[in-house]
Chains A and B, each alone.
Chain A
Amino acid sequence: MSIPATIGDFSVLPVSIPPLPSFPRKVVHHLYVRRSTPKIPTETDARSLFVTNVPVDSTEAHLRSLVTSLVGSGRFESATFEDERKDANNPSPVAAAQPASAAILLRVHGRKRKREEEEEERDKETLARIPSAWTRPLRRSGGTAVVLLADEKSVEQVLKAIAKAHKTRKYPTWGLAGGSAGGKAPPVPPLGSAWLRAHNRLSYPDRAALQASVDAFSALFADREREAAEIAKRLRNEPDEDGFVTVTRGARAAPASQSEAEEARRKMLEKERKRKEELANFYRFQLRERRKEEQAELLKRFADDRKKLDAMRSKKGKFVPET
């Protein structure tokens, strides 16, 4: 069966997968490619390609080699995978660790930092990240990626090359062939047993490094917390330009912790319960109501049993003695 050249507004890019000893078959994997048109346009859209159904073991190097084999070297700039883009939404664990209210305060009222300060901060945040335990991530099956090319012309060329590949039936090969990565880029870590071993090795990071990372995190976290508290304190008595005073948490000398509040609430409920208990069975109507309830309960149980029985009856074999 011939492979269609397009599907919807996507061009189909068949990639031949070299056989492996464990699965010695020639397989064709289909990537679907089109110009990138995200909902929120960015400045690089014009020279980007949107690729979907990327193989799970894709890396930037893989896509680079693919583009190279289609239109030659020097056109490929970078590739961003689906999961990496999601990561971009929550930039640092420290920020995510802040309570929402503090985060808002910091964003709105925090003082503007200078660039070098910001860079320093970013370095610290990078340090505060827990190192990954895998040398190489696996992509989502059927996932997407955005490939950034050198210029708009390259996009055109790639799409043309795909169309040509269909005609000549010469599909590019998946892998890191040709060393066209330029030698400078770090080699792609292998999968298989080496990958699993490296995982185990990375699962046990150097203790000092881990300690440093945790320390960096704690320091940053404490800083942010303090800063947020200061802003909150400042705002407490300070009307803004419209004359409103922002309501902030922590008006008391020591901020009320939520657990304390819960404790107080529990105590109150306990008190209430005790009071009620003392008056139970005190009035005649209470006795009467209780008895009524019990009867209703009994009747309800009876009805429930009936219902259960009906349910059992509807299923076969519940009333057949086993033989």
Chain B
Amino acid sequence: MDSNPAKRRKLDHAQDDAEVALAAAASAGISRSTTFVLEAEELLEYVCPDYDAAFSGADGLLHRIKGLVEGIEAHDQLQIAEAAAKLEKKHKIKVPFPEPRPDGSSNYKVAFAAPSKFNVVGSYVFKTMVKTQKNPAVDMVVVIPESVLQEKDYLDMRYFYKRAYYLAVIAAALKKELGAQGQLSYEYLHGNPLCPVLVFQPKGPAAGTTEPEPPRSQDFRIRILPSAPEGFFPAAKLHLGASLIRKARDGEAPSEPTPFYNSTVAAESTFFPYLKVLRQAEKKSKGFRKACVLGRIWLQQRGFGSDVAQGGFGQFEWALVLALLLQGGDKKGQAALSASLSSTQLFKAMIQFLSVTNFSEKAYVFGSAKADLDAHVESGPVLYDAARQLNIAFKMGSWSAALLHQHARWTRSLLAENAGDQFTPTFILKADVPAHSFDFIAHLDPKKAADQAGLDPRGPAWRLGSRVYRILKRALADNDMGERARVIHVKASACAPWALADGPARETAPLEIGVVFDPLRMARTVDRGPVAGPSAEQQQECARFRKFWGEKAELRRFEGDDARETLVWSSTTPFALCEEIVRYILGRHLKVDKELAVYGGRLPALLSLKPADTAVFNVAKKAFDVFERDVRGLDDLPLRVRQIAPVCAELRHASVSLPELDPSKSWRRPLECVISFEASGKWPESLIAIQRTKIAFLIMIGSLLEKSKPGDVRTHVGLEDSAYDDENLAFLDVLYENGPAFRLRVHSDLEESLLQRQSKNKMSEPWKRQRAATLLASFRRLYVHLPLHNQYMTTCATRFPALSPTLRLVKHWFNAHKLACHFTPEFMELAVLRVFLAPHPWEAPTSPATGFTRVLAFLAHWDWRSDALILDTSGEMTAADRSAIATRLDAWRKIDPHMNHTVLFVATAQEPSGTAWTTLDGQPKPPKVAAARMTSLAKTASRLIKDKGVGLDVRTLFVPSLKEYDVLLHLNKKVLKAALATYPGEPAEAYAASDADAPQHAKFKNLSAHAGEPPLPLAQHPADALLKRLDAVYSHGGPLLFFRGGSPDDATIGAVWNPRMPARTFRVSLPTAYKPASAAAVEAGRKRRAEKKEEESGDEGENRGGEEEEKEEDMVEVDREAILAEIARIGGDVIERIEVKDSS
């Protein structure tokens, strides 16, 4: 009994509309990752072409062709050679016989009769085409009537000869009738040389106009595919193991199985059965069609297609596999997938299927097959449709199946993640650029292919490719020795269509070999082969090993191990090792040497990156540990040391140049660290007093260190270049006589809470609060975030072996393009880390080359105006965290739409505020101009990488373009070098204009006042100091923005004028030097103001004056010449030359 039914009912009712809406959402397939679903829907909407517009006239044309073909006169059996000669003579058409062509003596007979059936098949009828597809084709199947064929035609290519003749007859007829309205050519169906087809390309939409237009990529083509009647050839004879090409040229009878030939014959009569399968699937499942479109895009972005050269797995194969899975594919006869799944769910299921079934290693069968198919996997991947007895994957090579498997696994891992952008890597990004995908790329000259004998009808290049793959797989991906390579890929070029009167073009493009490393194992220099034991089995194993590796194999005994067959390689870097092995093994087995061209290894050489660099970084870390111990060992410090943390790039494997450990160098960049003490109540409650106390601490640490290690350590307390007393005032430089130099700053926790309080103090003036907030940000950056960042990057550098060299390359790129002065090193590091932590659509880069190119691609692609760079550094960032970060960015953009304070937004799990690495002292770092320049440079570089392919000379990516700068300041390197050394003994006032002017210094070194005295360290490099001063005077909304790389050797400073400082009315306080305006400037200024009024956008930089009445004679303009003259005076002898671009 329900005691209170009324109440209960009410409660039930309270589970209200929300639940209903949710249930609806769930049933619509929007249950979990809604964004992905919505985005996919949107994508589908965008990519589906308007069939009526794009294929206008296609149906009419098809009917016309059908009529024409039906009207061809039938003729009786003719001798094949005779018939071919007749066609060539009469119509100037060559019969596209497959190789080997029938010779004149063969007595095959050919005939022609009207086709028994016509049908349009393929993605046109299923409406699964996409806009981005090149040359969409409408496929019309023409079934050769049984009267023309014989059952035994499946043997010895006879069917294909007849088919070729049949096609040529149709071509002849169409040429006569349609030749004027379009272009007819032959082409291989899916690159299969057994199956030529006829292609008709209509001449543009407005046929009959006089202007001959080149065919656009969107213009459709019609392909005519002759096919065998359904069930005509006995399926039992066409099994994968059969040997159907028995007539070998040289007389002997090879009994080698011909799986590709067999499958092609079988596939010839399956157009209609498969059309039925697809129709059924489409009817049964609503999401099927869209899932096929998604599949097409996914495959296309990864370079897959039905063509043999594109891997042999395209939209058709995708649709077929999906249909078979829906139909009841598995062994028990039950459907693997439910028909009620939505399109994205089907897509995901398909990805899942492809990622778990590796059909290049184990045959996969839909339905139940009698025969054991696993034996055939050796010759190629097997994906067997038992009902129609066809290997669907017959066009694939083992490598393309492996790559497809790999891509499916990567996409699956992306889709399994519950956060981040899943959509863009899955469908939008192009993942088939070799430079992005492969660590090692080689080209093999196809001329080598000529001597590859074999029966495979796919041609000599294919045969060469498959041999190369087998050899490399054994050499690089040997399981027992530890796989060096994760992916080995071989790609042959596709065959282009050819004219009716010609034969197919010979392949000339090189064979492309790509390898993805396992970075740790690829660096191995000694391979341990099988144990050389006494047993017969072991001996056999060793013999095989020796046979494969040749004289490179030698017997070695290892410590605590048996004697083993061993390979010893001489190279050191992973790339060079790979090249050495590939060259050796291909040279041994295929006698290739000069025909092999290797690409991709040039990038690390630019910086002369070596594997031994890691050791140098580690030495620096060790030196730091010594330093830490020395400081901790000081007994007389009033507070106990809690932590000394490194905060510089050198101590996180991320600096362009190696840490300087050699004390003899004139200038050592000190390794920066921060020291924090245990909590104490003794710090004074005043920022200024805290800063003084810090100085006292530094002085004390310095003298204690000198005392504890006399002669070993020199210390100097240096002053920061700070303007106010409440900023950090000083640092301590500790110079080891036989090691690196360190720079120490003191952390006081009270400082943080004081700043926090000030920044929140509602009672104080806004500028004070603002200032406190800025100081607080700097404080957190230096003492909180940087130590964490250092720690995290160090961990990552061990986790990803390719990270450190990539970091250095990317920083070098920023340096080369004079961007480095605008970006914090931490930002650059995080941008690099992005392609390692969120590497989709690949996995984390495994070499500096792929890392670098992908970073460029990412920078080119990143729309920083609206997207934050979010890095899941903790591994457990939730979607809520991400959306909170995105909201924060939105908020910033709302308060600051012109991006005067925040431009880039980079958030990590440890630092979710997003601005720690992209603002410095309240200024955006980089400013918008620099960020835009970064993007455009990255875009240009990415385009070059994509367009030029592997042949690109990577050095060109690092050549700065100076012509964009309005002004160039050329620094005098000699003077800068002379300015490096200062001595504690000299008074500061004694420095003359330049040491170069005072030759007596140079002449008698020993006579100078400071002989033997060690020089002072450098607080900052003079060029940096100069740039900082110039920046302070002219940048930050001022007239000039300077660009310079971060390396001390960069002796050219670029600068651009601020275009947003037009002529203006004179005021007492001007933002920079102005002169009375010329008439032209007044005019330009007025125009600009008028534009601005139209835009109605309030810009801070110029609106300071407000709207004042315009009096012509009171107009002033920026006095560029005066400013340049000022810079010349400031720089003095340091600036050698100021180069001004003509402003015309």
Chain A residues in the interface with B (C-beta under 8 A): 1, 3-4, 7-8, 10, 12, 17, 20, 22-23, 25, 27-30, 32, 52-53, 55-57, 93, 96-99, 130-131, 133, 135, 138, 140-142, 144, 189-207, 210-211, 214, 217-218, 221, 257-259, 262, 288, 292, 295-296, 298-299, 301-302, 304-306, 308-309, 311-313, 315, 318-323
Contacts and interface: CB of A to CB of B under 8 A. Distances in A.
A20 B1126 CA distance: 10
A193 B979 contact: yes
Interface in B981-1002: 982-984, 986-989, 991-995
Given A56-B1033, A200-B1016, A210-B699, A133 B863 contact: no
Interface string B1117-1144: 0010111111111111111111000000
Interface in B422-451: 427-430
A295 B1072 CA distance: 58
Contacts of A99: 685-686
A192 B1029 CA distance: 12
A196 B1128 contact: no
Contacts of B1131: 22, 191-192
Contacts of B733: 204
B725 A312 contact: no
A292 B18 contact: yes
A117 B209 CA distance: 104
Contact of A198 (B729, B988, B1070): B988
Contacts of B1073: 29-30, 53, 55, 141-142
A7 B696 contact: no
B1128 A321 contact: no
Contacts of A17: 1122, 1125, 1129
B790 to A, nearest CB: 25
A259 B680 CA distance: 11
Interface stretch (B105-113, B250-258, B486-494, B716-724): B716-724
Given A22-B1137, A142-B1074, A193-B1132, A207 B1121 contact: no
Contacts of A221: 684, 686, 689, 692
A295 B1066 contact: no
Nearest to B684: A221
B1113 interface: yes
Interface stretch (B55-63, B189-197, B1018-1026): B1018-1026
A196 B644 CA distance: 31
10 contacts: A27-B1121, A56-B1126, A57-B1129, A193-B993, A201-B982, A201-B983, A204-B984, A205-B719, A295-B22, A319-B39
Given A96-B725, A201-B982, A305-B35, A196 B1026 contact: yes
B1076 A4 contact: yes
Contacts of B699: 207, 210-211, 214
Residue of A8, A193, A259, A298 with most chain B CB atoms under a 10 A cut-off: A193
A204 B1066 contact: no
A23 B1124 contact: yes
A323 B130 CA distance: 12
B637 interface: no
Interface in B300-359: 300-301
B150 interface: no
B300 A203 contact: no
B719 A202 contact: yes
Contacts of A22: 1128, 1131, 1135-1138
Contact of A190 (B978, B1119, B1132): B1132
Contacts of A322: 301, 428-430
Interface stretch (B40-48, B118-126, B177-185, B594-602): B40-48
Contacts of A210: 695, 699, 717, 730
B25 A302 contact: yes
B1034 interface: yes
Given A56-B1130, A322-B430, A204 B718 contact: yes
A93 B726 CA distance: 9
B713 interface: no
A121 B688 CA distance: 18
Contacts of B986: 201
A192 B975 CA distance: 9
Nearest to A12: B1076
Contact of B21 (A30, A133, A299, A315): A299
Given A3-B1076, A308-B35, A309-B42, A218 B1130 contact: no
A8 B688 contact: no
Contacts of B975: 192-193
Nearest to B1120: A27
B753 A259 contact: yes
A308 to B, nearest CB: 7
Nearest to A298: B22
B612 interface: no
A214 B696 CA distance: 7
A259 B693 CA distance: 19
Interface in B1047-1094: 1066, 1068-1076, 1078
Given A29-B1125, A196-B1022, A258-B685, 10 more contacts: A23-B1127, A97-B688, A138-B1029, A141-B1033, A197-B1022, A211-B699, A298-B22, A299-B18, A315-B863, A321-B427
Nearest to B1068: A52
Contacts of B1134: 192-193, 196
B1039 interface: yes
B866 A311 contact: yes
A142 B1071 contact: yes
A288 B16 CA distance: 12
A228 to B, nearest CB: 12
Residue of A140, A192, A206, A211 with most chain B CB atoms under a 10 A cut-off: A192
A55 B688 CA distance: 32
A20 B1129 contact: yes
Nearest to A291: B15
B132 A320 contact: yes
B1019 A200 contact: yes
A291 B18 CA distance: 10
A140 B18 contact: no
Interface string B903-922: 00000000000000000000
B563 interface: no
B515 interface: no
A105 B39 CA distance: 65
A55 B1122 CA distance: 8
B1125 A27 contact: yes
Contact of B994 (A194, A299, A311, A318): A194
10 closest cross-chain pairs (CB), A and B: A192-B1132, A97-B688, A23-B1128, A203-B1019, A194-B991, A295-B18, A142-B1070, A196-B1022, A322-B430, A198-B988
A257 to B, nearest CB: 7
Contact of B692 (A8, A12, A53, A217): A217
Contacts of A3: 1076
A14 to B, nearest CB: 9
Given A57-B1126, A140-B1033, A141-B1034, A323 B866 contact: no
B14 interface: yes
B749 to A, nearest CB: 9
Residue of A28, A56, A98, A210 with most chain B CB atoms under a 10 A cut-off: A56
Contacts of B46: 319-320
B750 interface: yes
Contact of A296 (B18, B993, B1121): B18
Contacts of A30: 1073-1076, 1119, 1122
